[in-house]
């Protein structure tokens, strides 16, 4: 029986989403794309999930798109590439879904983080990497451009000249350098432990305010100040009415640990 390309394990408030082709350095093929999109849908539907840990099985996060496997069915590739003028195609959707989830997504990187894998990591909300991991925006090696929704987070995380250098050359760089550039959040010897430490802090807060904060941050990265102010007011009005906000306020006043209910926002 073929192992699933993507594993989803829900352990209490944490969903572990794992790329599961370790023998191929978690190279991404079309079935992996389908598995990741399905995994995001599973997480979204479970309102008790408070955070996602996104990782790769084995010694690498992902060596990028597996061209041989992905392009074996050219008709399927063509279907995945087509998109309407205001819609994402499936190659873009597989990464954008993680930015759209109403829970934080924390990526754990080791080994290789190349091409499509790096674009997936960039679409996580927080990224912990081992110092010796190897990162590369590798599409230039194949005469291509990044086209899996990674350019939006790349442009948010990196100055234009740095992004152009990395995307035009496809040069590789370490996890330490990724953190120095701001592409990774932090380079640490045990990125999974760092991810879980952060998740513990997030889980201690209202799941509704966490979801609203994620929407607020991404919703105000671009556009006018007036638009940002409107979004602030809109989200805060919803938070005032949320049951978990009341739980947080009562627990804070009583100096007790809050016991939140399921997420109601997002």
235 has pLDDT over 80: yes
Mean pLDDT value across residues 202-231? 95
83 has pLDDT over 90: no
223 has pLDDT over 90: no
45 has pLDDT over 90: yes
pTM of the model: 0.95
216 has pLDDT over 70: yes
Burial (CB count within 10 angstroms: exposed 0-12, middle 13-18, buried 19+), residue 56: buried
| pLDDT value at residue 225 | 94
Q: Is 11 helix (H, G, I), strand (E, B) or coil?
A: strand
Sign of CA dihedral 32, 38, 44, 48: negative
Task: Note the pLDDT tens digit of each residue in 165-182.
Answer: 999 999 999 999 999 999
Report phi then psi at 105, rounded to 5: -115, 120
Mean pLDDT value across residues 151-155? 96
| pLDDT value at residue 131 | 98
Q: What is the band of 71 on the pLDDT scale with cuts at 50, 70, 90?
A: confident
Q: How far apart are CA 225 and CA 102, in angstroms?
A: 23
| pLDDT value at residue 86 | 76
Q: What is the mean pLDDT of the chain?
A: 96
For 6-202, the fitting CATH number among 3.40.50.720, 3.90.226.10, 3.30.230.10, 1.20.120.1200 is 3.90.226.10
Please name the residues in contact with 24: beta carbons below 8 A apart, sequence gap of 6 or more: 63, 66, 69
**In the chain, domain spans:** 6-202, 206-254
């Amino acid at each position: 029986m073929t192992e699933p390309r993507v594993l989803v394990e829900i352990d209490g408030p944490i969903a572990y989403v794992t790329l599961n082709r370790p023998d191929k350095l978690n190279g991404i093929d079309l079935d992996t794309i389908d598995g990741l999109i399905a995994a995001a849908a599973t997480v979204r539907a479970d309102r008790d999930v408070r955070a996602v840990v996104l990782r790769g099985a084995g010694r690498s996060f992902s060596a990028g798109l597996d061209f041989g496997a992905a392009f074996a069915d050219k008709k399927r590739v063509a279907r995945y590439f087509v998109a309407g003028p205001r819609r994402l195609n499936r190659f873009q959707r597989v990464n954008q879904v993680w930015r759209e989830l109403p829970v934080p997504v924390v990526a754990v990187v080791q080994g290789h983080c190349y091409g499509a894998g790096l674009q997936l990591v960039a679409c996580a909300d927080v990224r912990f990497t081992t110092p010796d991991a190897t990162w590369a925006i590798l599409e230039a090696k194949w005469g291509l451009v990044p086209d899996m929704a990674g350019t939006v987070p790349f442009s948010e995380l990196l100055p234009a000249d740095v992004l152009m250098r990395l995307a035009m050359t496809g040069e590789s760089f370490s996890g330490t350098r990724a953190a120095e550039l701001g592409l990774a959040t932090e380079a640490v010897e045990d990125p999974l432990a760092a991810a879980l430490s952060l998740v513990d802090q997030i889980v201690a807060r209202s799941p509704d305010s966490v979801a609203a904060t994620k929407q607020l941050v991404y919703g105000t990265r671009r556009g006018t100040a007036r638009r940002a102010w409107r979004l602030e007011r809109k989200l805060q009005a919803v938070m005032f009415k949320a049951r978990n906000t009341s739980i947080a306020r009562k627990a804070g006043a009583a100096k007790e640990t809050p016991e939140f209910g399921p997420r109601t926002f997002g």
